[in-house]
Amino acid sequence: MKLTFAQRMALGAKRAKYRRRLQEVLDNQGLTGVALAGMLGISSEAVYRTLSGKIHSPKVLDWLREHGATEDHLCDPRRAGE
């Protein structure tokens, strides 16, 4: 199911509410956003923009999922409607 721009924006806004919970996943792994960016081969801006709900980086969302973030906090547009 392809989401509209408005639906994707709404998911991002919802994720922004959970930003601290997502940051805790990084903290629990002893990582900063910069370190995660280096591990994933992306910019630190992409990490921070994903955490704040401005973009939906699949690499960041998948990493967070694999390290304990809940689906409710991720608000991943790829999984919306599941």
Task: Please say if the pLDDT value at position 80 is more than 70.
Answer: yes
Inside any domain, residue 64: yes
CATH code, domain carrying 16: 1.10.260
Tell whether 81 is covered by a domain: no
What digits encode the pLDDT tens for the residues 27-70?
999 999 999 999 999 999 999 999 999 999 999 999 999 999 99
Yes or no: say if 71 and 79 are a contact pair by the CB < 8 Å rule.
yes
pTM of this structure: 0.91
- Residue 81 confidence (pLDDT) above 80: no
- Total number of domains in the chain: 1
Helices assigned H by DSSP within the chain: 5-17, 19-28, 33-40, 44-51, 58-66, 71-74
Residue 24 counted as domain residue = yes
The domain containing residue 66 runs over which residues?
5-73
